[in-house]
């Protein structure tokens, strides 16, 4: 994969079931209030460590509020060498509205 792919919630669920990592790029307060179960919070402060420790071959789904900022972040991760990066269409807002049972609080 030379570029990231925008995916819907159904595809994201499939990838998560297969072991994809979810990287939530929203602000820390929003992440703490609720996030996709098992998502990691990815920020400027944690980005370096994430890149150093992550499996570049494993799929990563980037999640923001509405699915727009995640596209830039997904493109950045592709540039850093990640092979399979996805941006979640509709972001966390749509995920939470559609799949509230798959959300967690910190």
Query: Average pLDDT for residues 83-104, to the nearest whole number?
Result: 96
pLDDT attached to residue 105: 84
Mean pLDDT estimate for the chain:
95
pLDDT attached to residue 2: 75
Query: Average pLDDT for residues 66-85, to the nearest whole number?
Result: 96
Which residues have C-beta within 8 Å of that of residue 96, sequence separation ≥ 6? 34, 103
Q: Residue 1 — pLDDT band, cuts 50, 70, 90? A: low
Phi, psi of 34 (to 5 degrees): -170, 145
DSSP secondary structure of 33-102: H-EETTPEE--TTTHHHHHHHS-TTS-EEEE-SSSSHHHHHHHHHHHTT-S-EEEETTHHHHHHHH-GGG
Q: How far is CA 92 from CA 14, 51, 57, 83, in A?
A: 16, 22, 24, 23
> What is the reported pTM?
0.95
pLDDT score of 99 more than 80: yes
CA nearest 86: which of 10, 2, 12?
12
Positions marked catalytic: 64
pLDDT score of 102 more than 80: yes
Cβ-based neighbour number of residue 46 at 10 Å: 12
Write the pLDDT tens digit of every residue in 4-38.
Answer: 999 999 999 999 999 999 999 999 999 999 999 99
């Amino acid at each position: 994969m030379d570029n990231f792919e925008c995916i819907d919630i159904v595809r994201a669920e499939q990838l998560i079931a297969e072991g994809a990592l979810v990287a939530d790029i929203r602000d820390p307060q929003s992440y703490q209030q609720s996030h996709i179960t098992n998502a990691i919070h990815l920020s400027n402060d944690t980005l370096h460590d994430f890149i150093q420790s992550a499996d570049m071959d494993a799929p990563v789904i980037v999640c923001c509020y509405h699915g727009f900022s995640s596209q830039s972040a997904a493109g950045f991760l592709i540039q850093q060498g990640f092979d399979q990066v996805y941006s979640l269409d509709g972001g966390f807002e749509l995920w939470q509205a559609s799949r509230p049972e798959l959300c967690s609080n910190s």
